[in-house]
Structure 1
Amino acid sequence: MRELTVLGTASQAPTRTRHHNGYFLRWDAEGYLFDPGEGSQRQMLLAGIPASAITRLCLTHLHGDHCLGVPGVLQRISLDQVAHPVHAHFPASGHEYFRRLRYASSYLERGDIVEHPHAADGPVAPGLSVARLEHPVEAFGYRLTEPDGIRMLPDELARHGITGPRVREIQARGSLDGVDLARVSAPRPGQVFAFVMDTRLCEGVFALADRADMLVVESTFLHGEADLAHAYGHLTAREAATVARECGVRTLVLTHFSQRYTDPSAFVREAREVFDGELVVAEDLMRVPVPPRTAQRAPA
């Protein structure tokens, strides 16, 4: 199962209707927890996500609304005696803050937390890479990429008399009885998930979003306050939607809204001015499935 659960959608300050940041991505056997803000442990409980589901903790940067939930989550991992390692990815410049969060109070540490600070663009784990963003503190976005594969063509398989166990045989061998695998299959691009939080428009945003099946991106401001957004290192809904259009994104998830806005439909209207793909304006505890694989990757 590949599905995003939104734990919170506020930005610097939570509101009566929006919890601090937090995003959990189920990706087959992996569970990625992105930017857990204050109280994320409780939001996970409400969403039915146990601590044992987390395999990787990914922080874009060390501002409080993106990391103050770390102490509770890590202590819950120890309390529940989660048996597998949990890999923690974060900017190396924030290592001191991460250590303070990890040991914010006294507890019996039973979890196996493996720290992976990163300082440059590139791969940080199998299928997972980071790219630098532009914010007042060092920040990185994340991109999860599934390797490209193939899809079998039933009509071609039948035409060549390849059925049952022989399908697996041709997949393993590359050819069977003079029939090449390429004649009975077609390329299938791997799925791509991108996660972009606090940033101005920069090269990293476009690199992360390129042909993503799902882009989760901050849209802290509406475009009428674009100058304010740029001054504080944030995007507007129109900017985020423009990135999605130019990068061939299939599903755009807008989130991280300033407390000054109370009408979510304003973000829909603004994004729709430039983007006509699948659009989600995130709400707390919303579940958003990663769209099914396609036969070919969307044009950028």
Structure 2
Amino acid sequence: MSVRELVVLGTASQVPTRGRNHNGYLLRWDGEGLLFDPGEGTQRQMLRAGVSAGDITRICLTHFHGDHCLGVPGVVQRLSTDRVTHPVYAHYPASGEHFFKRLRHASAFHETTELHEEPVAAEGRVVSGPFGELQARRLDHRIESFGYRLVEPDGRRMVPELLARFGIGGPRVGLLQRTGTLDVDGHTVHLEQVSEPRRGQRAAFIMDTRLCDAVYDLADGADLLVIEATYLDEDAALATEHFHLTAAQAGRVAAECGVRLLVLTHFSQRYSQVERFREEAAEQFDGEIVLAEDLVRVPVPRRR
């Protein structure tokens, strides 16, 4: 059975708090496990959340500020400690390749797991596979930073009533899906006659940035949008100065881009009442909003 969910490992920004670890987000997408921005302490958070090293197939870094990457050494070493047998791929801004190599080899260990580095040098497709396509767009931050977007290809949904009308059932349904046509009593039935378009699902991950075109491009039509909301609107000037977003800006992006589920995270330690982030976002966006908490699991919304 396929599983699509976000496992939140950490939700703090630059400084962790008693209740919030540095960043860390595992997107479980069928057979893939994309670990975004593992900050310091991610390995322990994985244990607390019930996530194994074997769940990870890709490590995706938006940029090389410490709260988004200092967990890499522990995670990389854990892959080999647990003898993960499948290859793991690492995607990160190519301009920080020297940082990744230092993190990867931060201390001595016996490396057994295949870790393939695939630096991101330009916007567009990062990699494609059965899961769909992983895309990247360059954000507006102090150092080079990329946001990511996972896009499942559009497909078709079989309509039981139409299948019954043509007398198609059992293994022949799968055959029709694979071949596109099926002979039924001397007549050719086309896939389009017994199915309807099914839009592929989309998930977007946007960390440290000011508002820019890339934010909207990444969020466009997302079923799940995980986005930083470091500041409240009262500190919008600070957000701009430090290249971050406010909760209100995140809500506005979700509203304008037709997002289904908005997950706010990366909260500054200056705020003790995080419910205010939801209130500000909700003034702009009337859809579902989740205030990310460490160790929670957020299901990707079901298809419409």
- Considering the TM-score relative to the shorter chain, is it more than 0.5? yes
Structure 2 residue identity aligned to 1:122: G
- 1:257 is matched with 267
Q: In the TM superposition, what is the alpha-carbon distance from 1:175 to its structure 2 partner?
A: 2.8
Shift of 1:225: 0.7
In the TM superposition, 1:1-16 aligns within 5 A as 1-16=3-18
From 94, 99, 109, the equivalent of 2:96 is 94
For residue 172 of structure 1, report the CA deviation from its aligned partner. Answer: 2.8
- 1:23 pairs with one of 22, 25, 29: 25
- The 5-angstrom pairing of residues 193-204 of structure 1 reads 193-204=203-214
Deviation at residue 111 of structure 1 after TM alignment: 2.0
Distance in 2 of aligned mates of 1:172 and 1:52: 31
- 2:145 pairs, out of 119, 139, 144, with 139
SS at match of 1:117: coil
1: distance between equivalents of 2:190 and 2:172?
A: 13
Q: Which residue of 2 aligns with 1:293?
A: 303
2:181 corresponding residue in structure 1? 175
Select 1:220's aligned residue among 227, 230, 234.
230
1:178 deviates by 3.1
SS in 2 for 1:194: strand
State TM-score, norm by structure 2.
0.95
Give the letter aligned to residue 135 of structure 1. Answer: H
CA apart distance, 1:79: 1.2
Amino acid at match of 1:50: S
- In the TM superposition, residue 171 of structure 1 has moved relative to its aligned partner by 2.0
- Deviation string, structure 1 residues 117-152 (Cα, Å, up to 9, x no partner): 111101111111100000000000001111111001
Matching residue's letter, 2:247: A
Distance in 2 of aligned mates of 1:66 and 1:166: 49
1:74-93 counterparts in 2 under 5 A?
Answer: 74-93=76-95
Q: Give distance in 1, aligned partners of 2:291 and 2:88.
A: 30
Amino acid at match of 1:241: G
Secondary structure at the aligned position of 2:174 is classed as: helix
Taking the TM superposition and a 5 Å limit, the aligned residue runs for 1:209-288 are: 209-288=219-298
Q: Deviations over 1:225-263 (max 9, x none)?
A: 111101110000010111011011100000000000111
**Corresponding residue for residue 192 of structure 1:** 202
**1:108 positional shift:** 1.6
Runs of 4+ deviating beyond 6 Å: none
Residue 161 of structure 1 corresponds to which residue in structure 2?
167
Identity of aligned residues (%): 63
Q: Which ranges of structure 2 fall in alignment gaps of 5 or more residues?
A: none
Q: Which runs of 5+ in 1 are unaligned?
A: 295-300
Query: In 2, distance between residues paired with 1:261 and 1:229?
Result: 14
Which of 136, 151, 156 is residue 150 of structure 1 equivalent to? 156
1:81 CA drift (Å): 1.6
**Residue pairs, 1:31-50, within 5 angstroms:** 31-50=33-52
Q: CA deviation at 1:27?
A: 0.6
- 1:72 partner SS: helix
Amino acid at match of 1:252: L
* Amino acid in the other structure paired with 1:136: R
With normalisation by structure 1, the TM-score equals 0.96
**Matches of 1:84 and 1:175, distance apart in 2:** 36
2:124 aligned partner? 122
CA RMSD of aligned residues (A): 1.0
SS at match of 1:87: strand
Counterpart-to-counterpart distance in 1, 2:112 and 2:158:
45
Q: CA deviation at 1:84?
A: 1.1
SS at match of 1:239: helix
Counterpart position of 1:297: none
Aligned match of 1:111: 113
Distance 1:173 1:95 in 2: 44
Whole-Å Cα distance in 2 between the matches of residues 101 and 173 of structure 1? 47
Moved more, 268-277 or 172-181: 172-181
CA apart distance, 1:173: 3.0
| Structure 1 CA distance for aligned equivalents of residues 31 and 138 of structure 2 | 27
> How many Å separate the matches in 1 of 2:175 and 2:43?
46
